Amino acid sequence: MSNQLQNPQPLLSIIIPTLNEAELLPLLLEDIKQQQNISLEIIVGDGGSLDATRSVAEQYGAGFVTAGRGRGKQMNAAAEQASGDYLLFLHADSRIDCRSLLGDAVHALLSESTGQVRTAGHFPLRFMRSTENNAIGYRYVEEKSAFNRVDTTNGDQGLLLAKGFFRSLGGFDESMPFLEDQRIAAKIRSTGNWITLPGYLKTSARRFETEGFHRRYILMSMMMGLYSVGAEAFFVRAPGVYRQQQDAGTLLLSPFFSLIWRMMFDEWGGVGTLRIFYLLGRYIRQNSWQMFFFIDVLSRSLLGAGRYPFLRFHDRIFWPCSNFKLFDALTGAICFVWFMGVLSPFFWLVDNGERLVQKRSAGSGDRI
């Protein structure tokens, strides 16, 4: 069901998927309330919250739409109720500093959407962190979020586009409860173009901090790689590949590596495994620019802001010289050795140690 929306004819409809977000949602809604020079409405697409999410949304005059759990389903259901000419999809843990951010964003999109060009926009990110750990990693992700290269755009960055364009894309893919952002990003790239919107969004680092920055990034790399080669059985069988934030704790990677080993023996076989890792090698080569980009970020204090000499070296020299099948095969072999020969046994040992510590802690607690 949907509540009455606050603006009869808004220019912009802001859609926020939620699941038990009563703690953070008021902060974002307050930020949106402060926006200037833009007529807007807010629609919350909820996946079955058990907390006060609905009452928070109603308190701020937001529309409230219930849907099946999964961000794709929730955002599609909310978009059906939208009356604005433009749609902006935001995550509930986003924050907005600048009061003109949304008005400037729509103006930038209008400026780029000329003729028959179908354009979508995303914001660069700034992480809200509780510690200074992994500063270089966060800086890398933040700088990369301002780019418009393949596999650099995700839901944390927001998605702004015309409602007609969104409908022509068929909305979000609802087949899985995650990766809906990557799928629609690829559709936009193939049928239109992306722009980086002015300003930035702030986003919570809570998942990285709770699960472990490197563990979450390794799992995301595995997910994107397997998704790119069509190994979707991994996502069907994966043990909680993307837990809800409220359920998040230290991310154990050994179950995911164990699943890949089982799929290699039970489903892919020898030839299938060679094919999968060859395709993964090709995927890694297509994203090899990120390694050179990381060196630029690592050298930021020496290079200064906005300079990417190593990335230019990749684009002009490395990429043309590495664009052949033998390189894909070699990269796939290195990928197999690194992930299955190094990371897999490493996290088996580390995760078992983590489980042992948790078991002993639980046992000590029982005796108190």
In this prediction, residue 71 carries a pLDDT of 93
Domain with CATH 3.90.550.10 in the chain: 12-204
pLDDT digits (tens, 9 = 90+) for 151-203: 899 999 999 999 999 999 999 999 877 789 999 999 999 999 999 999 999 99
Of 274, 74, 279, 97, nearest to 181 (Cα)?
A: 74
In this prediction, residue 338 carries a pLDDT of 97
Average pLDDT over the chain reads 90
- Strand-pair partners of 63: 43
Of 50, 33, 32, 41, nearest to 3 (Cα)?
A: 41
Instruction: Judge contact between 87 and 158, C-beta under 8 A.
Output: no
- DSSP E strands, 123-178: 125-128, 159-162
**3-state secondary structure string, 187-199?**
HHHHHCEEEECCC
Place of tokens 């919250």: 49
Of 33, 41, 36, 52, nearest to 16 (Cα)?
A: 41
Q: How far apart are CA 318 and CA 289, in angstroms?
A: 9
Provide mean pLDDT across the span 82-99.
96
Q: Strand, helix or coil at 346?
A: helix
The answer on pLDDT for 3 being more than 90 is no
Place of tokens 């992480």: 127
Provide mean pLDDT across the span 67-85.
95
Residue 285, C-beta contacts closer than 8 angstroms, at least 6 positions apart:
322, 323, 327, 328, 331
Residue 255 vs residues 77, 265, 326, 352: alpha-carbon distances, Å: 33, 16, 32, 11
Q: How far apart are CA 221 and CA 291, in angstroms?
A: 13
The pTM score is 0.89
Q: How far apart are CA 73 and CA 117, in angstroms?
A: 27
pLDDT-derived band at 5 (thresholds 50, 70, 90) equals very low
Tally DSSP H helices, then E strands, for the chain. 18, 10
| CATH no. of 12-204 | 3.90.550.10
Provide mean pLDDT across the span 318-329.
93
Angle separating helix axes 254-263 and 344-367, nearest 10 degrees: 130
- Counting every residue, how long is the chain? 368
Of 156, 138, 48, 38, nearest to 92 (Cα)?
A: 156
Of 86, 121, 105, 89, nearest to 10 (Cα)?
A: 86
pLDDT-derived band at 26 (thresholds 50, 70, 90) equals very high
